[in-house]
């Protein structure tokens, strides 16, 4: 089980009231929510391995170089990602709690959590559940290898199970073509404009007709007499978007072969640092959440 950690702690922050505080009155809702969700996921699904995948770089240079608008609207005035004031101080606490508990946390310099997830999912020798609220990761679904998405569509407790059939049903495309679909349609949440005038319906029709983005572009290059779905109007739009279509796949495609050390991720049989974990729990009012996590992991009292 691979967690898109930033996606989940943001979801936890907005899903658990900020009135959930430490003993000295600081919000701790994101950490509480993340730990409680982790306990629920482990207890419900029983994974053999469990890894919190981290954004070491939330807006990697290679993606910005390809498409400068990538996540540009989420850059804070002082630089870095725009984050609620009550959330920012909680992230280092979560890092410390995961380390003390012995929960694997993995990032890679210059890459997002998506790329860590893509690489670990590709390396895996058995089924993989990816827990995220980011639709970009739908491109990883692979029924043959047992890779599916547990999508946090409605908060941190109600999950949608996304496999190839679910992608096909929702978007009307082959289940493993989501990345090309996203390039064409665009995604405003990531600053991905898409092809101007090409919406989800047209994008799906093009993919179904020509197979993938490469097939679509080859058809655009050779088409003399337009016909649906590659009408004269759509053809003109795709020609106009040629530079964008050169760059966008670099941004959308999840890396699957980044240089990561071997990651064990086995669920800990006991805390990595019991004293530190107890101190963190007491200082930040996390005793109940740590106790729930301990219970599903089978730790001694």
Torsion sign over Cα 152, 153, 155, 160: negative
Q: Which two tokens stand for residue 69?
A: 């608008």
Question: What count of other Cβ atoms lies within 10 Å of the Cβ of residue 215?
Answer: 14
pLDDT given at position 156: 63
Q: Is residue 277 part of a domain?
A: yes
Whole-angstrom Cα distance, residue 277 to residue 115? 29
Pair 57, 109: CB distance under 8 Å? yes
Asked whether residue 103 is assigned to any structural domain, the reply reads yes
Does residue 192 share a domain with residue 146? Answer: no
Per-residue pLDDT of 5-60, as tens digits, reads 999 999 999 999 999 999 999 999 999 999 999 999 999 999 999 999 999 999 99
Asked if residue 52 and residue 7 are part of one domain, the reply reads: yes
> Domain check: are 283 and 219 in the same one?
no
The per-type count for the chain, helices as H runs and strands as E runs, is 13, 6
Residues 54 and 67 in one domain: yes
Whether 51 is in a domain gets the answer yes
CATH number at residue 161: 3.40.50.1010
Burial label, 64 (beta-carbon count in 10 A; 0-12, 13-18, 19+): middle
Predicted structure pTM score: 0.96
Whether 286 is covered by a domain: the verdict is yes
User: Cβ(84)–Cβ(76) under 8 Å?
Assistant: no
Q: Where are the alpha helices (DSSP H) in the chain?
A: 5-15, 29-45, 61-66, 90-101, 113-123, 164-171, 178-185, 200-210, 213-222, 232-240, 242-252, 274-284, 287-297
Query: What SS3 state is found at 153?
Result: strand
Task: Give the Cα separation of 115 and 154 in Å (integer).
Answer: 24
189 found inside a domain: yes
- Residue 108's SS3 state is coil
Residues 73, 39, single domain; the answer is: yes
Does one domain contain both 188 and 272? no
Cα gap 62→265, rounded to integer Å: 28
In the chain, the number of structural domains is 2
Nearest-angstrom CA–CA distance, 229 and 195: 15
The per-residue pLDDT for range 187-216, each reduced to its tens digit, is 998 999 999 999 999 999 999 999 999 999
Are 160 and 268 found together in one domain?
Answer: yes
130 and 73 in a common domain: yes
Give the Cα-Cα-Cα angle 147, 150, 155 (nearest 5 degrees): 165
- Based on the domain organization, do 29 and 128 belong to the same domain? yes
Q: Is the peptide bond before 229 cis (omega within 30 degrees of 0)?
A: yes
- Residue 110 covered by a domain: yes
Domain span at 183 = 178-252
Mean pLDDT of the chain: 96
Q: What is the pLDDT of residues 99-145, one digit of tens each?
A: 999 999 999 999 999 999 999 999 999 999 999 999 999 999 999 99
- Does residue 173 fall inside a structural domain? no
Other Cβ atoms less than 10 A from the Cβ of 165: the count is: 11
Do both 134 and 184 map to the same domain?
no
Which pLDDT does position 252 carry in this prediction? Answer: 97
How high is the pLDDT of residue 154?
A: 74
Q: Is 148 exposed, middle or buried (0-12, 13-18, 19+ CB in 10 A)?
A: buried
Q: In degrees rounded to 5, what are phi and psi of residue 99? A: -65, -45
């Amino acid at each position: 089980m691979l967690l898109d950690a930033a996606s989940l702690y943001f979801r936890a922050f907005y899903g658990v009231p900020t009135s959930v505080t430490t003993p000295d009155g600081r919000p701790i809702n994101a950490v509480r929510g993340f730990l409680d969700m982790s306990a629920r996921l482990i207890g419900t699904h029983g994974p053999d391995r469990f890894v919190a995948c981290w954004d070491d770089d939330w807006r990697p240079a290679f993606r910005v170089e390809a498409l400068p608008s990538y996540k540009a609207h989420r850059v804070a005035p002082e630089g870095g990602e725009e984050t609620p004031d009550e959330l920012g101080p909680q992230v280092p606490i979560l890092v410390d709690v995961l380390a003390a508990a012995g929960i694997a946390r993995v990032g890679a310099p210059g890459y997002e959590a998506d790329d860590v997830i893509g690489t670990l999912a590709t390396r895996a020798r058995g089924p993989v559940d990816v827990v995220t609220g980011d639709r970009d990761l739908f491109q990883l679904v692979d029924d043959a290898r047992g890779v599916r998405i547990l999508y946090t569509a409605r908060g941190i407790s109600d999950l949608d199970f996304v496999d190839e059939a679910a992608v096909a049903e929702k978007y009307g495309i082959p289940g493993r073509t989501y990345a090309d679909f996203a390039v064409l349609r665009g995604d405003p949440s990531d600053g991905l404009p898409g092809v101007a005038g090409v919406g989800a319906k047209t994008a799906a029709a093009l993919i179904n007709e020509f197979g993938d983005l490469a097939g679509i572009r080859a058809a655009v290059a050779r088409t003399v007499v337009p016909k649906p779905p590659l009408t004269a109007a759509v053809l003109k739009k795709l020609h106009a978007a040629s530079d964008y279509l050169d760059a966008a796949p670099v941004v959308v495609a999840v890396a699957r072969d980044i240089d990561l050390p071997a990651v064990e991720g086995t669920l800990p049989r006991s805390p990595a640092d019991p004293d530190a974990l107890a101190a963190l729990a007491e200082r930040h009012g996390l005793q109940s959440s740590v106790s729930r996590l301990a219970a599903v992991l089978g730790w001694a009292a």
